[in-house]
Structure 1
Amino acid sequence: MIIIGGGQSGLAAAWAVQRRGLEPLVLESGDRPAGSWPSYYDSLRLFSPARYSGFPGFVFGGDPDRYPHRDEVVDHLLGYAAHLGVEIRTRTRVEAVTAAGAGYAVHTDAGDQLEADGVIAATGSLANPVYPKLPGLEGFTGEVLHAADYRNPSSLAGRRVIVVGGGNSGVQIAHELAAVSDLTLATRSPVAFLSQRPLGRDVHFWFRTLGFDRLPPTVLQRLVRAPLVLDTGSYRVALETGTVRRRPMFTALDGDDVVWSDGSREHVDALVLATGYRPSVSYLRGLGALDEHGAPLHRGGISLTHRGLGYVGLEMQRSFASNTLRGVHRDAAYVAAAVATHAPALVRS
C-alpha cells in the first residue's frame, strides 16, 4: 500500500494501514515526515489544546491544556513517524499515478515507478493555494502574498497592507501585522467569532462532548453558514476598537491603488491573500480520478472512480475535524478499511 504524503494525514493513514496487517510505504516530498507544518507562519499555534491533538498511543507531553506551537507539532510528527516504524521515503515527489493491471503505478520525480495494489492520497492542500479572481489583480503593481507564503510581519513592517479573508488565518495574520504596518482587513461579510473557552472549557471539549466533531458535512453546512474565527477575546476586541481596521471587500485594484465599495481610493503596498486552499492532488489528474476543477471525486474519502484509491485529510471529508490533528485518525481508519479490501496481496501472513 502506497501512501502519498508524510504529514499528519499520511502518518495517520500509515497507522491505519499498519493496523490492518498491511505494509505501508509512505512517500514524502519534503526532507522529513512533517508535511506542511514546517512551512506555516512563524507564530502559528494549534487551535485545539494538546490533550485533543495527539495521535493514538502517542500523546503530546507537557501541559495538556496548552496550545502547541507550530514547531512543537513538527517535533511531534517526527516522533510519531519514528514510533510507527514504517518505511518513509523523503525527498520523493509523486508526479503521477496511473493504472497498472488491477492496481497502480506511482511515478516519482526521480524516474522511479512503484507498483501498488492500493493508494491513499494524503498530500494536504498547502501546495495548492486559492488565488481569487479580483478585478485588477493581474495588473496590481504592489506585492502579492498568499497566506501560504507568509512567515512573519518583518518584511511588511511600515507598509500599507491589506489582508483579504475573514477566516482564522486572515484574522490572525491581520492582528499580527496591525502592530507593525498600516493594516486593513478586507472581508465580504463581518467576521464571525466563536469563543475559544465557552463556560470556562475549551470549545473542543464541547465539540467532543456534544458530538459536533462527528456530524456529517451535510449537517454542518446547514448549521454553519460562514467561517468561524476561534477567539480568546483579543481578536474581537481588536476589531471593535479599530486596532485591526476592517472594511467590506474592495471592488477593484488599479495599479497600486485599491478601490473601495464607496468609490474611495487608497494606495496599497501589499496584499496578503488568506483565501484558502484546494486539495493538492494534481498527480491523479491523468488517472481520471478528479473533476474538472481538480477536486477528488469521492465519498467520505473513498474514490468514486477507482477501487483501491482513497483520500485522507480533505477538508470536511467526513466531519468538521477531518483535516485536523484531532480528527484525521478516524477518517484514516475508515479509508484504510475500504482500500485494504482491494489489496489482499499485501496482507501479512
Structure 2
Amino acid sequence: MSAAVDVVVIGGGQSGLAAGYHLRRLGLDFVVLDAQPTPGGAWRHAWDSLHLFSPAAYSSLPGRLMPPQPGRTYPDAGHVVGYLDDYEKRYELPVERPVAVRSVRRDGPVLRVESDSGVWHARTVISATGTWWRPFLPAVTGADRFAGRRLHTVAYRGPAEFTGRRVIVVGGGNSGAQIAADLAYDTDLTWVTRREPRFLADDIDGRALFDAATARRRALDTGSADTGGVASLGDIVAVPPVREARDAGVLKAAPMFARLTPAGVVWADGTTAEADAIIWCTGFRPALSHLAPLGLRGPRGHIPTTGTRATAEPRLHLLGYGDWTGPASATLIGVGRPARDAAREIAALLKGRS
C-alpha cells in the first residue's frame, strides 16, 4: 500500500490524538499511525493501581474535558483509556492500527514513512511515539549475577504476585513511590533512591506542576532567570496511596546500593539485603529509532528542536517527549498547547508551499 497525505502522525496515544484534534480543526489531510491494536496508548499497559496526579477536569486533552471517575478524585489508568477511546471516536480521528512505523526518510520534497502496512508519502510528519516503549535500565555491577527476578516499571502489574516476597524497588520518582506504596503492606519491601525522597506538599498536584513547567519555559524563552520548574517543587506527588503509606511509616527509603549479588544487593558500607525481585522504576528514553535515517540525533539522544520542530528538518515535529518538546508535553493537560503550535506551524509551512 502507498498513500500521500499532508501530515503523518506517528503514534496514537494522547500526544497523537491532541495533534489530530488540531490538524482536523485546520482542515489538513492527515493520518494517525498507531502501533497498538486498540486505543489508549501507553495507559493501556500501566500497572493496576496507577493514578493521575490531577483531578479529571485538569487532565484533559484539547476540546473535551475528561469526565470524573465515580468515587475517585484522581482517575486511574483504566479511566484514561476509556477517555482516549471516546476522544478518538468523538472527533472521528483517522487512526489506522496496528501500524508499526519502521523508518522515516527524506524522499525529495516529501518524507517517506515506511511501515509494516505500507508506505506513506507525507509533506510533514509529527512523531508522537512517547517513551514508554523504551524503558531505561541503569548499568549496575553484578546485575548479571542476580538470581531473582528483574523487571522494569513497564512489566509491573500489581502486588499480588509479590505477596510475602522480598522486593526491592529502585527509583525516587513518582513511579517508584507509587509502586513502593503498592507493595508496602504485603511484601518485605526495601525502597531504594539515589537521594532522599522529595515529596511535594500534599496540596500540590498536576495543575501546579503544569503551571511550574510553563512558567519555567516562559522564563527561559524570554531570557529571565531559570525558575527551576517542577524540579524546584519536589519529585513525588503525594497522591492518596503514597500519602497513606508515607503517613503510616511504611514508605521509607534507603540509599542506593553499590552492587548486586546472586542473593540480593550490597551497600557501600557492606550492609546486605536479600531479594526475590528487583523492580527498576528508573525512567525511560524517547522512542525515536524510526527517525534514525534522518540523522538528527543530538546530545542525550534528543533531536534538537525549536519549539516542537526539528531544527535541522522543518518538515518534522516532535510532540510529547518531555519539556524539550514543550512544557509538560508528556502529560495529558500539557500536550494541548504544543500540539496546537505544531499544527499551526505545519499549516503555515504547507500554505507557503502550495
Q: TM-score, normalised by structure 2?
A: 0.89
* Pairing partner for 2:157 from 151, 161, 166: 151
Per the TM alignment, residue 53 of structure 1 is displaced from its structure 2 partner at its CA by: 1.3
Tell me what 1:113 maps to.
119
Question: Does the C-alpha gap of structure 1 residues 233 and 333 become closer, same or farther in structure 2, counting only changes over 3 Å?
Answer: closer
| CA distance in 1 between partners of 2:43 and 2:267 (Å) | 35
**Matching of residue 37 in structure 1 with residue 43 in structure 2:** yes
* Pairing partner for 1:192 from 172, 175, 198: 198
Matched residue of 1:195: which SS? coil
| CA distance in 1 between partners of 2:15 and 2:244 (Å) | 35
- Where in structure 2 are the equivalents of 1:1-349 lying within 5 Å? 1-62=7-68, 66-110=73-117, 112-197=118-203, 203-206=205-208, 211-217=211-217, 219-221=226-228, 224=231, 228-232=235-239, 235=242, 238-239=245-246, 242-291=249-298, 293-317=300-324, 320-344=327-351
Contact map agreement 2:321 2:329 (CA 8 A) in 1: yes
| CA distance in 2 between partners of 1:25 and 1:223 (Å) | 34
Per the TM alignment, residue 316 of structure 1 is displaced from its structure 2 partner at its CA by: 1.1
Per the TM alignment, residue 333 of structure 1 is displaced from its structure 2 partner at its CA by: 0.8
Per the TM alignment, residue 56 of structure 1 is displaced from its structure 2 partner at its CA by: 2.6
Question: Does the C-alpha gap of structure 1 residues 225 and 101 become closer, same or farther in structure 2, counting only changes over 3 Å?
Answer: same
Contact map agreement 2:51 2:239 (CA 8 A) in 1: no
Question: Does the C-alpha gap of structure 1 residues 261 and 145 become closer, same or farther in structure 2, counting only changes over 3 Å?
Answer: same
Tell me what 2:223 maps to.
none
| CA distance in 1 between partners of 2:125 and 2:306 (Å) | 16
List gaps (5 residues or longer) in structure 2.
1-6, 221-225
Structure 1 letter corresponding to 2:259:
A
Identity across matched positions, percent: 35
Per the TM alignment, residue 266 of structure 1 is displaced from its structure 2 partner at its CA by: 2.1
Question: Does the C-alpha gap of structure 1 residues 46 and 137 become closer, same or farther in structure 2, counting only changes over 3 Å?
Answer: same
Question: Does the C-alpha gap of structure 1 residues 247 and 287 become closer, same or farther in structure 2, counting only changes over 3 Å?
Answer: same
Tell me what 2:3 maps to.
none
CA deviation string 1:255-275 (max 9, x = no partner): 222101321122211110000
List gaps (5 residues or longer) in structure 1.
none
Q: TM-score, normalised by structure 1?
A: 0.90
CA deviation string 1:180-234 (max 9, x = no partner): 2110110011110112425xxxx445557xx434224453547725852111576
CA deviation string 1:139-182 (max 9, x = no partner): 22211110011111122221111100010110010011112211
The CA RMSD measured in Å over matched residues stands at 2.4
Name the stretch that deviates more: 92-101 or 49-58.
Answer: 49-58
| CA distance in 2 between partners of 1:51 and 1:332 (Å) | 19
| CA distance in 2 between partners of 1:292 and 1:214 (Å) | 23
Question: Does the C-alpha gap of structure 1 residues 325 and 250 become closer, same or farther in structure 2, counting only changes over 3 Å?
Answer: same
